[in-house]
Amino acid sequence: MASTDPRTQVAQPALDDPNSASARAYEPDRQSHDSGREGTLTSGSDGPEKSNKPSAEKQAHAIPDDGVIIVDWDGPDDPANPRNWSTKKKWAAAATVSAFTFISPISSSMVAPAAAQIAEQFHITSSAEASLTVSVFVLAYAVGPLFLGPLSEMYGRVHVLRGGNLWYTAWNLGCGFAQNSGQLIAFRFLAGLGGSAPLATGGAVLSDMWIPEQRGQAIAIYSLAPLLGPVIGPVAGGWIAERSTWRWVFWATTIVAALIQLCGLIFLKETYAPILLEQKAAGIRKGMDPEKGNVREIRTAQSTGKQNMGALWRKSLTRPFIMFAQEPIIQLFGLYMAFIYGVIYLVLTTIPAIFSNVYHEDVGIGGLHYIALGLGLFVTTQINARIIDRVYRKMKARNGGVGLPEFRLLTVFPGTVLIPVGLLMAGWGTHTHWIVVDIGLAMIGSGMILTFQGMQTYVIDAFTMHAASALAAVSFLRSIAGFGFPLFAPAMYNALGYGVGDTILAAFAAVVGPPAVFTFWKYGERIRGMSRYAQRAIVAKK
């Protein structure tokens, strides 16, 4: 019979998964706990306490004078744990995060069809400067997540998401009132900083709410937003630029962003477990009565006691850089996703030139060809969302009930083939009918979404506790590529032509993509075993 003396009670948190329900009480000599188990309750006592939710007063009296009250989830079925929220509440939060992630990338490319109009009004003669008015927004995507991701792990997801969108909305509105190219570029960069918030924390929010066997579908839909947004944006932007003024490109997105902000205030709730447990602890502290002498130190199951705030800031804000420097997973996936992200922004900025110069179409009609890219993204997402979790569960069952992040990579392999084939068709198709180019664009979109969804889910599964920092490190490289590729695209295609230029990109995609994915499929578990941050514990079945 295990001792129930309160003096022996200490908490041991789930180290890798902040939303796991760790035991509320352990004996020091029986601290056996699988830190990777999700939704399990492990305890050194023979049974649960009589009351699952004791009052602050009772908890205080249950601890000796030199004891510490440890606050944790009230068992594996605690409704306060985001993993136990209703399906309706989870999807409301997921849809809101996806909306945040959708509107910002729309702004990144919606101005592309209006770039010529802007260059004419502001007397921009350099093609690089004209491209900069479009791509500088994506440069901010590289900078913002490096501090917004860690901040979400310090202060919670909700504050970062709402605050970031509000910042984006304000500066995006300012872009519509810019009086020269310098102001427009500066305002675009500042808007991009706020717009990067959902890219830094959105995937982590989904990780907070769903276990690995269920989160694939949510991430598949969420991953569509940052890729589909830049496709839809130019379609609308082309017609706005043709029928009105380029300023309405910014004003229209500002109106939509304000509506999404309102939805965020209503439907988006905090999901990060350490913050929720700290809020619970704060309620217990407030309920203590100093006059009765029952004030005790209170900690959450995932805190390590008092910390120096300066040291905490330094540790959190430098974590993405450390992860990028030390984690092979981040480095290799980051480089490949950077190439893919750069390609999509290169494609986005060259579509107007292709259909205007080669096929002699108006801006509005030429913008409709973005739909081909969007169809590839959307249709593939619908298919992959239905199979990604099914594949994971099937592979987990074959592996004795043990789930591994590497199981996410099976759906990535087709994407590494579709991208180079699509680039070849889109490049050389410019010598034939425009439908060949559109088919190539659709294949590029299909390959990109398969790659993004699988790799992003892999990173989230591997770095559960620090998912936001890991995603920030990955997004840094890809955003730099998204910023830089459109700057050299005009010079490359002018010198080489669309066929040869896209052949070079296709060759790089074919040489890097399949070997990288195969390496992590075969050796990923071993690589994670050497990692400081990756989840090394077994993800056990519930």
Residue of 464, 12, 84, 525 lying closest to 276 (CA atoms): 84
Instruction: Look at residue 46 in the predicted model and tell me its pLDDT.
Output: 36
Average pLDDT over residues 298-317: 66
How many DSSP H helices and E strands does the chain contain?
Answer: 17, 4
Helix, strand, coil in percent for the chain, rounding step 5: 75, 5, 25
User: Which residue's structure tokens are 């500002």?
Assistant: 254
Distance CA 201, CA 341 (A): 18
Q: What are phi and psi of 373, to 5 degrees?
A: -60, -40
0.75 exceeded by the pTM? no
Instruction: Look at residue 257 in the predicted model and tell me its pLDDT.
Output: 94
* pLDDT tens, residue by residue, 255-307: 999 999 999 999 999 999 889 988 888 888 887 766 666 667 787 776 645 55
Average pLDDT over residues 453-460: 84
pLDDT band at 446 (very low <50, low <70, confident <90, very high): very high
**Whether 341 contacts 481, CB under 8 Å:** yes
Average pLDDT over residues 522-532: 82
Does the pLDDT at position 317 exceed 80? no
Q: Quote the tokens at residue 248.
A: 């309405």
**Whether 373 contacts 444, CB under 8 Å:** yes
Distance CA 372, CA 441 (A): 6
Average pLDDT over residues 461-479: 79
- For all residues of the chain together, what is the average pLDDT? 79
Residue of 187, 198, 193, 204 lying closest to 272 (CA atoms): 204
**Whether 482 contacts 437, CB under 8 Å:** no
Among 3-12, 310-319, 426-435, which is the least confidently predicted range?
3-12
Residue of 16, 473, 18 lying closest to 272 (CA atoms): 18
